[in-house]
């Protein structure tokens, strides 16, 4: 039912041979430093067999590139790049700053990260750095500049890849000082901060910027404003660490795109919608957490979200798993064929290619059982044959970037706020958004603060934070004749996680023609009556007492606390869902709304 | 079946207009410092509509009252008190010491609390202080004295409310030093302490007071005597912090009652039965943790317990939730009408009134979704209408304090000991007591160390700690012709949590006419046979091998480890239950015992 | 079906009356320091009633023996030994070093252990020491030497018992320094270490030994090589602490055996197969964690394992529970008679006796509810009567040490590696080995690195680590005509937990005639078809895609990811199980294999 438009793809390989390959990229993370050079030749042969045309090198290689503070060993990487070039394979050259070497941690213990409990983490894993520590930032600049100086003119260089999966959180004194500076920049006055954080509650009024701490371990519930701002600060602190490297790179190689790979999950304090403006091409890592069809749904959403970050331009699937999925409690081998299904699903959603992590499964290290192209069993495997077959298929696949008439609003800040303290129940924001996306099948993804003029229908699931400006955007969308679908927990707060008064959903009450007086998180499902449905559906997770203020009831609670009261309402083209529908009912309802409003 | 007696109510408003209002108090926590003054007038109007005659002000307002070490801002509070007085509303004036301001934590990091793991907690929540830190105690005296000096003669002043929900635990060096002093006072000699704690086990013999630590993180099971005494110390350390404020207040305003609100839960190291002797009126906060009828049962017990703390005098429900209940995992909106049911249940059990937390639901802060009278949706709500209706009803309700012929023994120390290390299974003492109370429907609550002469029946559930003197009290009760009902886990230990030898239940073996040789915590229920019952009942959680030494079997195990052996015994008027009955069987059995013995 | 051979028993009481009693030992841990001397006489009488001929004294008595740094009080222990001797009871004299006294912790806070989070544990439990702290080692030598000097010639002395249940882990600076030294000794060069740990992954290459830390808290997955080596180091550090005491004792009393009691569990970083070479008789503590028949299975395995540690010589059950078993969530009273069943099961498996923990249940302390011979209820109990009856029975029981034609391979290092980071799913190695043992009913237990010539069948469950030499041992076993049964997860890694390439199960592919390409941990059971079975069996937990390379399929997957492919294979006499069979099917399969190959 949804129409798609094909657009042209940018970032083709430039005249001098640098930039991403024309057509679709195919390859993955390549870590030759984990193997003797004798293996490299076999790698090249297997890559050609598989149709690989692009690999990422250098991720996590800091201790191999700079084994001691004053010793740089770049020759091996030069040989790798030469070899790749000789085999017609482009290189995404990564800076290795996601994992400082042990010598760095020993020299600069103050640059090791600290948990909210005050535990200073040690190295021996990855991401063991404080993004605000001066010593770390300086060391990152040094290794970055060294790589740039050496390889800026290498013909294999297709793209720069800064760091890896930015997402580290730190509560050390450097972070605390940086957080205070960030807050000063944001609020200017303590009065403004005290107001935004409602510090009058529980007597938390600040009289000096230096009284403010990161949300470390405290007695009981933390301040939700402080918690939310800390996540915002983390995103910005990491972004600054990225930008310092990007700028250094851009100055040297303005013709080569620069990016970093986005990792996505509830633990990641990164506003990727904001970051996407700082990369030359959006690159994502995608690892579904479910087996079977659930993985397909997650893949579809991830692809649409990436295209959203890219604002409709092409993007790149930078990491994905050829086989094993980490489901809760165990890894799960993907069913035969699913590798292609997921890869092509991403290409169909705008990915400029398909990249795997990693090329060759390592013998040791923490991720020695992580999925790979060339596994412990070698290349005479189902997985490698599937990779080869996909490579052939991709050579004849025309990259395209779809566009949909329906958009879903995604907001990292609402996600963060819904992970904060003191909520009525545990809310899985991502599950809310994915459920709405699954009900639609496919959609564009948009972000608060940006226009929605291009869309016929805008779907707003659990948009907990909503500022006046974006409420106005949504209001105008309806006035303009657009359809709006809003779910519970939307519009409840302003941008500071302060509740909007007068009844939920705050600034959307007027456009939705309702006023929600109170809510009831559900321990068990309740039945819902739809006029057109023969049998009742069920509502789950949440329910609300809705007062109609212009809207009409499209479905009614048949049980529970609000028996006989509206569960789903419509006010012209503005719909409101006060409970979570099951997958089929949600899909039927979305189809009905989209069809009704066409 | 149980008779009630009505007694007169004390604490009526005194001649000069101060003291609690005559009749029933109605109101709740009022935090105008969270709102612009423009809202205050609306508050007054709504309070009058609702029949509010008493509000608590100043709780957690320290940072508003003393925004910097040397700056006091009390005028706003004076305006609030004036406004209240002008509207005929009394004020419970709270000292704000439960939440020191950020400046205090910055000036005195040594006064921040420390966890058992040695983590120094930061401010940014509430209760972030060490009750033994000299700087904290000094600052608390200062703000308390400042409030007293300013408002001692204010006509709105109805009662003083020190602090809020005392319950903070700390393991910092100040607490450690204070714990050592407390132990010295308690035991005088290390020999006495080593004997009480049985330090000969695992080689823990102390040779110097300064070797003793609070029960911080250790390798494996901690010493149960140390654990129990630390909780006792915490109660006393907090009590000393309360008393220093109370005495300061009493000296200035001897005519105004002083109290603090008791919070109740497994995490609270406060012996409220002891504390109750230090307040002018017992005040409790009551938040049931179950929805539906379970909340009613909890409410009934809470009210009877509060009256017990008050030793049969009136008490005050100082905090309760107009609507949302925090059940495990989610908030639950109370069913319409339950607000009145719970409130009147408390009044019927002796409460001098009904107070809510809080008056106006805040926009921000950690508890912005906590239940309130005036919610985010405003006053045009079901909840506010129920509050108004209840206010009307309370105006014609005559306060009364019931008295019952049956008493349940409650003991915070047994509760603590049953939370200690090395027990045969996880015991929920509160669940044991509540189950016995529910089986009775209503009862007085009494405490070890106090006489039980006034009662026909005394019920002793899971009284794990039992000293000789109180065992003698119970023995004389039976000799005097009283009925005694004892359940498993009672009388097992002395006051130092040392097991009484010779068979359980220790000092009660003779009066019960039994000797328990061994126990079997139950993974699954077992069947019990009652001679008079057609179908078997089930016993849960616990079972015991009982030897009759004069008692007769009133019920028998039909399965499990002790098949054919007694499960419930009677020795004259002394009954013993060695397993947990289900709610109906428990109630039937209690009714049978009470009727039999009448 | 399995044959047994009886062998003579060593360690009989020597000519001078010292050494273990002839016949079977009977008794347990005796802690008279927890009781007034008036109780001791009753103890002697009860011990004689029960037929006790050996008790362990002094465990955990450090603070009683050395109450202050410069004060030793050994007279009470001399009186105890005199009393025992006068009653014909031998003494296992323990050094008390498992629980340093409080004065030691106060004097030497640097010798208190540190957790992986950096929390310095306090005393007040047991095992609160760092085994690498010089102050601890010196203090242990002093108390040990003091005991030896005083009691070396005491006629009651039957055996020395060093420490108790070695198993403490520490991450403090002393441990860190010792770990570095241990690594230097093991690897000689950093290149070797970097290779063994695959530090090229995630950029962990070490350039200096002092950069290496113990595996303390870090950001994400730790290095599995580092994790494994740290457990090995812990085992060796503890062993060194044992050996220093043993050598000191041996020098003084070369005629008296020395041992320490092995405790067994996933948290214990001790390679008992290695340690067994350093004790004069293997002594174990055995506490099953299941009630009912599960406890019998655990007991059978524990006995066979102990005999394995003893390399077929007699060993001693040093601690066991007369009654209560700690099952998850609750203690469980053993069924009447089970005390004898478990005790005799151990004797039938080679134990030189039956010892309980502890003689008299203490009034206080963390384990006051731990099972005991003389309980809180006294000696007029079912348990004491069972102890007496068992004592009689043991007097006429002839000790014997069985030998089996089938051996199971057990490997602490594989266990540790399977507790490490980054595995495909959570693996319970002990459950794997126990399941194989239960399928056999009884077996000898052998250890990697040692010959298997004596066995007809060798069973290899989940032997995750397998070095070339031991792979060769297993290969030759098959060449020699022996039967080999290998299960999934075996042979996957080398001794450094690095995966063997080319397909699982690594170095056993040739002898098994298979190549495993990939695995699928199972969320739900799958059906398996056996040609000879009418109904399908189920496979659980794990499954694999097996390629036959000479082997034949003996069972096939009927569902799941590998439908139609082999599940169980046979290559001559070498069998491979790629999934976990249920208990009955496992037993049938093992019986079939053993019978087929006879």
Q: Do B217 and C364 touch (CB under 8 A)?
A: no
Residue C17: the pLDDT is: 52
pLDDT of residue A597: 53
Whether the CB of C58 is below 8 Å from some CB of chain B: the reply is: no
Bridge partners of C374?
A: C360
Chain B contact for C62, CB < 8 A?
yes
pLDDT of amino acid B598? 52
B353: distance to nearest CA of chain A, Å? 25
| Residue A125 forms contact with C (CB below 8 Å) | yes
Q: What is the mean pLDDT of residues A405-427?
A: 97
Range A79-97 average pLDDT: 97
Q: Is the pLDDT of residue B12 over 50?
A: no
Average pLDDT, chain B: 95
Is the confidence at residue A471, as pLDDT, over 60? yes
The C-alpha angle with vertex C525 and arms to C520 and C530, in degrees rounded to 5, equals 95
**pLDDT on residue B10:** 40
Q: Which pLDDT score, from 0 to 100, does residue C531 have?
A: 84
pLDDT of residue B480: 96
Does position B533 have pLDDT exceeding 90, yes or no? Answer: no
Identify the band that residue C490 occupies on the pLDDT scale cut at 50, 70 and 90.
Answer: very high
Contact B521, C331 (CB under 8 A): yes
Chain A, chain C: beta-carbon pairs less than 8 Å apart:
187
In the predicted structure, residue A557 carries a pLDDT above the cut 60: yes
Q: What are the pLDDT digits (tens) for C197-256? A: 999 999 999 999 999 999 999 999 999 999 999 999 999 999 999 999 999 999 999 999
Residue A18's pLDDT is 72
Band (pLDDT 50/70/90 cuts) for residue C400 is confident
Q: How confident is the model at residue B422 (pLDDT cuts 50, 70, 90)?
A: very high
- Percent of chain B residues past pLDDT 70, beyond the cut: 97
Check whether A360 has a pLDDT greater than 60: yes
What would the pLDDT profile of B86-115 be if each residue is shown by its tens digit? 999 999 999 999 999 999 999 999 999 999
Question: Bridge partners of A522?
Answer: none
Nearest CA in chain A to B121: A218
Q: Is C118 on the interface with A (CB under 8 A)?
A: yes
Residue B319 a catalytic site member: yes
Could you say which of B117, B205, B500 has the minimum Cβ distance to residue C64? B205
Handedness of CA A424, A428, A430, A431 (dihedral sign): negative
**Model confidence at C108, in pLDDT bands (50, 70, 90)?**
very high
Q: What angle do CA C531, C536, C542 make, to 5 degrees?
A: 100
Token representation of residue B566: 């007694």
> Is the CB of residue B116 less than 8 Å away from at least one CB of chain A?
no
d(CA A165, CA A262): 5
Q: What percent of chain C has pLDDT over 70?
A: 97
Largest CA distance in chain C: 76
* Interchain pair C520, A332: CB under 8 A: yes
Runs of H (alpha helix) within A338-428: 338-348, 382-395, 412-417
Q: What is the ipTM of this complex?
A: 0.95
Confidence band (pLDDT; 50, 70, 90) for C292? confident
pLDDT tier, A263 (very low <50, low <70, confident <90, very high otherwise):
very high
Q: Which pLDDT belongs to residue C14?
A: 43
pLDDT over threshold 90, residue A9: no
pLDDT exceeds cutoff 90 at A193: yes
Is residue C598 very low, low, confident or very high in pLDDT (cuts 50, 70, 90)? Answer: low
The distance of B114 to chain A (nearest Cα, Å) reads 9
Give the up-direction half-sphere exposure of residue B273: CA atoms within 13 A in the CB hemisphere. 17
The Cα B589–Cα C9 span in angstroms is 60
Model confidence over A373-402: pLDDT tens digits?
Answer: 999 999 999 999 999 999 999 999 988 899
The per-residue pLDDT for range B373-388, each reduced to its tens digit, is 999 999 999 999 999 9
C-chain residues near B580 (CB < 8 A):
none
Instruction: Supply the pLDDT for residue C150.
Output: 98
Pairing, β C90-94 against β C54-57: parallel
According to the model, what pLDDT value does residue A16 have? 44
Cβ contacts (< 8 Å) between C497 and chain A: which residues?
364
| pLDDT tier, C19 (very low <50, low <70, confident <90, very high otherwise) | confident
Q: Grade residue A19 by pLDDT with cuts at 50, 70 and 90.
A: confident
Q: What single DSSP character describes residue C66? A: -
**Residue B549 distance to chain C (closest CA, Å):** 14
Q: Is A451 exposed, middle or buried (0-12, 13-18, 19+ CB in 10 A)?
A: exposed
* Residues of C with a known catalytic role: 165, 319
Which of B200, B201, B426 is opposite residue C367, by nearest beta carbon? B201
Mean pLDDT in residue range B145-173 = 97
Beta-strand ranges (E) seen in A481-565 are 483-487, 514-519, 526-529, 537-540, 544-548, 552-557
For residue A567, give the H/E element and its range: strand A566-571
Interface touch C198/A362, C-beta < 8 Å = yes
The answer to whether C477 and C451 are in contact (CB under 8 A) is no
pLDDT digit string, tens, across residues B546-566: 999 999 999 999 999 999 999
For chain C, the average pLDDT equals 95
| pLDDT higher than 80, residue A296 | yes
A208: closest chain B residue by CA? B103
B55/B41 Cα distance (integer angstroms): 15
**In Å, how far is C276's CA from the nearest CA of chain A?**
31
Would you say residue B13 has pLDDT above 90? no
Query: What sections of C272-337 are H helices per DSSP?
Result: 272-275, 293-309
User: What's B422's DSSP letter?
Assistant: S
Name the C residues in 325-384 with CB < 8 Å from any A CB.
Answer: none
- Indicate which residue of B165, B432, B537, B554 is catalytic: B165
For residue B163, is pLDDT > 60? yes
| pLDDT value at residue B304 | 98
Report the C-alpha gap between B283 and B242 in whole angstroms.
14
Using a CB-CB distance cutoff of 8 angstroms, which residues of chain C are in contact with residue A126?
202-203, 219-220
Chains contacting C (3 or more CB pairs within 8 Å): A, B
pLDDT at C570 over 80: yes
CB A336 within 8 A of CB A382: yes
pLDDT of residue B597: 53
Burial of residue B437, with CB atoms counted within 10 A of its CB: 0-12 exposed, 13-18 middle, 19 or more buried: buried
Which residues does chain B have within 8 Å of residue A523's beta carbon, measured at their own beta carbons?
291, 327, 329-330, 332
**pLDDT tens readout for residues C436-472:** 999 999 999 999 999 999 999 999 999 999 999 999 9
Strands (E), B411-467: 444-446, 457-460
Alpha helices in A14-90, H assignment, sequence order: 37-50, 62-65, 75-86
Instruction: For chain C, say whether A73 makes contact (Cβ under 8 Å).
Output: no
pLDDT exceeds cutoff 80 at C7: no
Distances in Å between the Cα of C332 and the Cα atoms of B124, C54, C288, C371 are 45, 27, 11, 10
> Chains B and C: how many Cβ contacts under 8 Å?
188
Residues C377-394 have pLDDT tens digits of 999 999 999 999 999 999
| pTM for this prediction | 0.96
Percentage of chain A exceeding pLDDT 90: 92
Residue C4 has pLDDT above 90, yes or no: no
């Amino acid at each position: 039912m949804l129409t798609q438009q094909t657009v042209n793809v940018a970032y083709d390989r430039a005249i001098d041979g640098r930039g991403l390959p024309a057509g679709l990229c195919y390859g993955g993370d390549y870590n030759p430093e984990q193997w003797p050079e004798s293996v490299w030749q076999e790698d090249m042969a297997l890559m050609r067999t598989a149709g690989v045309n692009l690999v990422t090198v250098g991720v996590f290689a800091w201790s191999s590139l700079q084994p001691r503070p004053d010793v740089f060993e770049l020759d091996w990487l030069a040989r790798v790049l030469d070899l790749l070039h000789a085999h017609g394979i482009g290189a995404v050259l990564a800076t290795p700053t996601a994992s400082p070497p042990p010598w760095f941690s020993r020299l600069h213990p103050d640059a090791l990260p600290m948990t909210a409990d005050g535990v200073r983490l040690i190295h021996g894993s990855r991401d063991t750095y404080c993004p605000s520590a001066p010593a770390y930032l300086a060391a990152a600049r040094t290794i970055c500049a060294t790589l740039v100086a050496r390889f800026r003119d290498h013909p294999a260089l297709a793209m720069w890849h800064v760091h890896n999966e930015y997402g580290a959180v730190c509560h050390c004194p450097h972070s605390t000082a940086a957080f205070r500076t960030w807050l000063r920049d944001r609020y200017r006055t303590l009065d403004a901060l005290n107001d935004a954080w409602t510090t009058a509650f529980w007597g938390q009024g600040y009289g000096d910027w230096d009284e403010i701490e990161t949300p470390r371990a405290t007695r009981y519930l933390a301040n939700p404003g402080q918690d939310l701002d800390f996540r915002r600060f983390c995103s910005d602190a990491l972004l600054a660490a990225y930008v310092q490297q990007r700028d250094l790179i851009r100055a040297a190689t303005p013709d080569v795109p620069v990016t970093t790979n986005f990792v996505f999950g509830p633990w990641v304090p990164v506003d990727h919608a904001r970051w996407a403006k700082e990369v030359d091409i959006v690159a994502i890592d995608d690892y579904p957490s479910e087996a079977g069809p659930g993985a397909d749904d997650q893949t579809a959403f991830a692809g649409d979200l990436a295209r959203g970050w890219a604002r409709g331009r092409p993007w790149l699937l930078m990491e994905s798993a050829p086989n094993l999925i980490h489901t809760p409690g165990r890894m799960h081998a993907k069913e035969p064929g699913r590798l292609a299904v997921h890869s092509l699903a991403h290409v169909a959603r705008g990915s400029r290619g398909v990249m795997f992590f990693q090329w060759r499964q390592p013998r040791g290290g923490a991720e020695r059982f992580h999925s790979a192209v060339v596994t412990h069993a070698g290349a005479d495997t189902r997985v490698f044959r599937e990779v080869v077959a996909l490579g052939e298929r991709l050579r004849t696949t025309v990259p395209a970037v779809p566009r949909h008439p329906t958009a879903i609003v995604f907001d990292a800040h609402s996600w963060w706020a819904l992970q904060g303290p003191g909520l009525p129940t545990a809310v899985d924001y991502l599950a809310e958004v994915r459920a709405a996306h699954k009900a639609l099948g496919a959609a564009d993804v948009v972000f608060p603060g940006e226009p929605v003029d291009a869309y016929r229908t805008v779907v707003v699931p659990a948009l907990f934070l909503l500022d006046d400006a974006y409420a106005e955007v949504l209001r105008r969308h309806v006035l303009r004749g657009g359809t709006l679908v809003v779910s519970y927990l939307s519009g409840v707060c302003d941008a500071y996680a302060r509740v909007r008064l007068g009844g939920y959903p705050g600034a959307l009450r007027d456009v939705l023609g309702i006023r929600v007086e109170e809510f009831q998180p559900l321990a068990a499902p309740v039945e819902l009556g739809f006029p057109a449905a023969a049998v009742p559906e069920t509502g789950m997770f949440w329910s609300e007492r809705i007062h109609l203020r212009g809207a009409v009831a499209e479905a009614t609670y048949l049980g529970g606390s609000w028996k006989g009261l509206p569960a789903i309402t419509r006010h012209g083209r503005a719909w409101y869902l006060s409970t979570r529908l099951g997958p089929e009912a949600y899909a039927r309802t979305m189809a009905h709304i989209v069809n009704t409003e066409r």
